[in-house]
Structure 1
Amino acid sequence: MCLFSPDSRKKLKKFWKLLFIVALLVAFELNPWGSLISLDSHPRVAQAGKKDWDKSDMNGDGVVDQQDLRLFSQELGLVDETEWTDEQWCQYIESHPKKKANYTQLFAFISDYYECETTPPPITAPTLSNPTVSEINLPSATIGATIVSDGGDPPIIERGTVWNTTGPPITEHQLAEGGTALGSFSHVRTDFTGLVAGTKIYFRGYAVNYSGTGYSPQGSFIVPDPLAVNHANNYPTRLALGPNGQLFVSDPKVKSIFIYDTIIPNQPPQPTRELKGLYSPLGVAVDSAGYIYVGNAGIGNVEKYTPQGKLVATIGQGLIRAPVDLTLDW
């Protein structure tokens, strides 16, 4: 027996259809279709280009750590990350900039993990060594030093030497040499004036960069006595007597005037002082004050020296051809 009329059955079907649609709408509201799509729970991070992806999170756990480093090392053919030293890992990330574009976070982790980023060395003034001196012929001498390092702050702005008689020199008698390169340098200084024999001269090389001035260790030399005897007579040519009985002997071969302060009878005379560096001295004379006159046949002049051996005057340069003998009227 049918409980519903045909009309009722039609209405009931419509009711059920409507109820089904309502149920679907309610279900969609509670659980949207979009959430039914399966997504990677750890999406990769896009880089600048569409094909450039950061693959650092190799195990997909949302963090970049040592586990990803291990996977990366195995991708490189290593057993694990310990097969390379810290230095090798630092060298690898430094020498593979293209690889870094795809593993930006992992490379940053490696740099931090192995402490690849070191503090740069401090910038300092230049470093110098090896002070040198040569060709001492006061008032001139050649002095210099060696620039070992520019201090990490190139370029060298200036280099040169300083000197004094108290040591260590800093700015006294400072003179630039003219160069700016690293390595050894030297120059002739002609300002060693007003110094008596036996004075000790201290000198240093210096170099300047934008951080400051560096100095070499201190060097030194002694002002030589111009009358110290270095040679024996070789070719005695002329003689002269001084006001106190000294004997002066010219020797053009040795290019010196030898001075004998004391003559002991029946004993070989020994020169006690020597006036050196002359030009074939033939003539020699001494005045009442002890000044020494030398006729230089080699350059055609007469030079006047103090009793201490300092040149104070030149006579007849260009006028006298070969002064072979001198006589003073005193």
Structure 2
Amino acid sequence: MRTSTDVPIVVSAPSKINLYLGIHTEKDERGYHRVDSVMAALDLADTLHIEPANELVVLTEPAVDVPMERNTAYRAAVELARAFGFEPRAHISIEKRIPLQAGLGGPSADAAAVLVGLCKLWGIDVHDKRVDKVARSIGADVPFFLHGPLAYLDGAGDCLRERFEPFEGMPVVLVKPQDAGVSAGAAYARFDEEPCPLPPLDPMIEALRNHDGDAVCASIANNLAPASCALEPQIDDVLAWLRAQQGVRAALMSGSGACSFALCDSLERARAIAAAAQNLHEWWAYAATMEKSGATVIES
């Protein structure tokens, strides 16, 4: 196997929020729901350090209670190597900042960052169609993180349909009850028991095409939220509190939860809300801004 560099590669793996998430009742041949999704990357990010090694090793800090072989980052490395006829040899360490079971896409972001970093390490064109195929095989959100930026995806939420000018720097506050978590599988199972009607998609797409922030705030929607709130009622508490805060333009649960976000009129207000969430309620909170790209090599 040829490597393009022997220097350790550092990759940023940004989180995401769903400005729109529409789950359809019908499923594809893989058993995945049809999904319409609009995602925006945030500056809250994991950091991956990738370097050549004699075998594949994936470590996380702090450690997660998942066998290494089941980690999405590990699977991404194995499948990328298989797609190009390589042996998956690399040492990958992940500094985790994105909370798990939050709807912020942490595992998918890490998988995309592995693909970006290993493409650099192994001399692969990241735009090769085989890389995108690997991304889709790992998880529905991975293609978004692989390409970025603000985008609309359909299929199972893994088919990129349209990109938009990012609202780079737009303030966002993230809030999640400290011990709350919702698995995507459990949320979708609950949705199947009691489906929620699709929210209108066209107003969001039109707002994005016009780069109209006020219209985006008026169009955010997520019909998976009732299912996740039924599993984790604290999400409703967070959303009600966020919507009552000064400077909040709109608030919504992200993905399958359990994290909610609020679009704010200033970063100062976002920071104040995050501090209040932590101090008054002992919730996890983070004042973020929207980013312009997905997984990115920041040092090599």
What's the TM-score once normalised by structure 2's chain length?
A: 0.23
Q: Which has the larger radius of gyration?
A: 1
Structure with more of its chain in helix, by fraction: 2
Where relative contact order (Cα < 8 A, 6+ residues apart) is larger, the structure is 2
TM-score, with length taken from structure 1: 0.22
